[in-house]
């Protein structure tokens, strides 16, 4: 993994408990959320995201599933063809 960047972010305190997180676990969750968004945008593969986060591919795929996000990227017509086959 590359160099780490330290940021200071001011968040409404009410958000952290609503997410079921502690202040200690928040940075790792923010990193996972950013990685998941980059995968959703197609800017990272799930394999690259797992490597950046220093977790296994299986763990990242499970995280995406918990976020109701998929590793599969099919256009609507491709999805229709797959389901119809």
Q: How far apart are CA 63 and CA 46, in angstroms?
A: 11
What are 59-81's pLDDT values in tens digits?
999 999 888 776 666 666 766 67
The tokens for 74 are: 């099919």
Contact at 8 Å (CB) between 6 and 14?
A: no
* Res 43: pLDDT: 92
The tokens for 43 are: 């800017």
pTM of structure: 0.75
Residues in the chain with pLDDT < 50? none
């Amino acid at each position: 993994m590359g160099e780490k960047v330290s940021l200071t972010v001011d968040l409404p305190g009410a958000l952290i408990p609503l997410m079921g997180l502690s202040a200690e676990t928040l940075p790792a969750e923010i990193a996972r959320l950013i990685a998941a968004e980059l995968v959703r945008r197609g800017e990272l593969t799930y394999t690259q995201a797992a490597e950046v986060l220093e977790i296994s591919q299986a763990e990242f795929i499970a995280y995406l599933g918990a976020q109701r996000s998929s590793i599969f990227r099919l256009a609507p017509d491709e999805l229709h063809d797959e389901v119809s086959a």
